[in-house]
Amino acid sequence: MKKFLLAVALVILSSQVVFAGAKEQKVWAFAQMYVEKQLKNPKSADFPFGHSEQFVSELGPGMYKVNSYVDAANSLGGTARQNFVMIVREESGGFRVEKFNIY
């Protein structure tokens, strides 16, 4: 019986961890779409591969900071890396950018 209860507890905890990470994944996807819209050649955007937890941190309830980079074609035809930092607020039905810096 103890093993069964332990297994149930692990399943519940695992599902909560996955659910918590789902929000960061949505913020990461939103940030990528937002950054692409700022680029001269959005189709050339190449974001780093990895888990959203590497780039997204929760600042408080419904507030997130995204800190990452994008490699994209520039006006000279070359590829340039641009770092960006974004503060995102969760709103009903989606997200809103509070602050955005690309450098």
Domain count, the chain: 1
| CATH number of 14's domain | 3.10.450
Q: Are 96 and 86 in contact (CB under 8 A)?
A: no
Q: Which domain holds residue 50?
A: 2-102
Instruction: Tell me the two tokens of residue 44.
Output: 């050339």
Look at the pTM and tell me if it is higher than 0.95. no
List pLDDT tens digits, range 58-74. Answer: 999 999 999 999 999 99
Higher per-residue confidence, 77 vs 81: 81
CB atoms within 10 A of CB 58: 14
